[in-house]
Amino acid sequence: MSTIEPIPDLGGAAQPLLTVTDLAKLFPIGGGLFEPKKTVRAVDGVSFSIAKGETVGIVGESGCGKSTTARLIMHLMPRTGGDILFDGQLVGEQISMRDFRRGLQMVFQDSYASLNPRLTIEDSIAFGPKVHGVADKEARALARELMGKVGLRPEVFANRYPHEVSGGQRQRVNIARALALKPRLVILDEAVSALDKSVEAQVLNLLTDLKREFGLTYLFISHDLNVVRYISDRVLVMYLGQVVELGPVDEVWDGPAHPYTQALLAAMPAMDPDARTMVPPITGDPPNPIDPPSGCRFHTRCASAESVCSAVCPALSPVAGGEHMAACHMVIPGSGHSRAPALGEVA
């Protein structure tokens, strides 16, 4: 009897499960007889790591590079630069793409487009294990077991097709399909954004339960800040293809250090009618990624911008001496910004 064996843990709890270094994706566009080629800098030097058993959330405006980053990690598109390590092994060299794809699965936003309309729910979940050598009978038994784990009764849903179930039920199918190969890391790209709020809450609670039961690690991508705060341990904020803030979710929410993060949080709807936002916390559209601004890419929309912001690109620097980091001259000691701490101090 063939079974799917999980990718072994090589480095122990101290070694990050995923390490991304200087990840980049440039899209060349244009370029005719009299027109020079231009480049869209979709992802530009993104670096972060995910600890084993952790949930890291990625937030930012549409077009900031969240989903492109996920697709680069999954190798669904070729990257322009950067390295990806899975449990300390360089992907494609020290660990094969077949093993990497088995150890890392992805759940997409569009639950219907993610499923083959000609396959029943049972066939969809069993397909991955069968590709990896599991016998048909065992694969179907695994599929039915996972359907139960995600709250779908096999006797009711096993022989249904994707168009015969609701959006929330389809997303549960996609989660079960992702778990069928016993991954260690699951990337969730806007996995709940298309669902009704009541269904969204059910799926979020399901993800939390599955993480605990299967020992999973999540990379959770969403534009909904409330959802990210609920499910994440750490949060990564992206703007125009770059990481501008990174840290434990409560520290970032309680003390956002980057003006862009402050604007995102200030724009969140409030239940209290007396706490309505009367002045927009951020104005204008993000700059064109073909020709991004020099220095800090947010300086064209930042109320605190000074000359150093347009001249020098700030590096991710510690905030309050902890794991919280921000790419802003106002937190870098001696950066030249009038609100920056003096040399030897920490923001």
Q: What is the pLDDT of residue 111?
A: 85
Give CA separation, 93 vs 84, 87, 285, in Å: 10, 13, 41
Determine the pLDDT at residue 20. 97
Closest CA to 223 of 190, 188, 254, 246: 190
Buried b or exposed e, range 63-98, using 16+ CB within 10 angstroms = bbbbbbbbbbbbeeeebbebebbbbebebeeebeee
The torsion region of residue 9 among left (phi > 0), alpha (psi -120 to 50) and beta comes to beta
Q: Which amino acid is present at 112?
A: Y
Residues 187-215 have a mean pLDDT of 89
Task: Flag whether pLDDT at 1 surpasses 50.
Answer: no
pLDDT value of residue 347: 60
Q: Pairing mode, if any, of strands 37-50 and 18-30?
A: antiparallel
In the predicted structure, residue 346 carries a pLDDT above the cut 80: no
| Proportion of the chain above pLDDT 90, given as a percent | 65
CATH superfamily membership of 18-232: P-loop containing nucleotide triphosphate hydrolases (3.40.50.300)
pLDDT per residue as tens digits for the range 97-122: 888 988 999 998 888 899 999 999 99
Instruction: Specify the pLDDT at position 2.
Output: 53
% of the chain beyond a pLDDT of 70: 95
List, for residues 45-61, the tens digit of each pLDDT value.
999 999 999 999 999 98
Mean pLDDT, range 273-282, rounded to an integer: 72
Residues 5-21: tens digit of each pLDDT? 778 888 788 899 999 99
Question: What is the spatial distance between Cα 222 and Cα 60, in angstroms, rounded to a whole number?
Answer: 8
Domain definitions of the chain by residue range: 18-232, 258-326
pTM: 0.91
Q: How high is the pLDDT of residue 313? A: 94
pLDDT at 57: 96
Please determine, for residue 124, whether its predicted confidence score (pLDDT) is greater than 80: yes
List pLDDT tens digits, range 217-273.
Answer: 999 999 889 999 999 999 999 999 999 999 999 999 999 999 999 999 988 777 777
Closest CA to 286 of 325, 262, 312, 260: 260
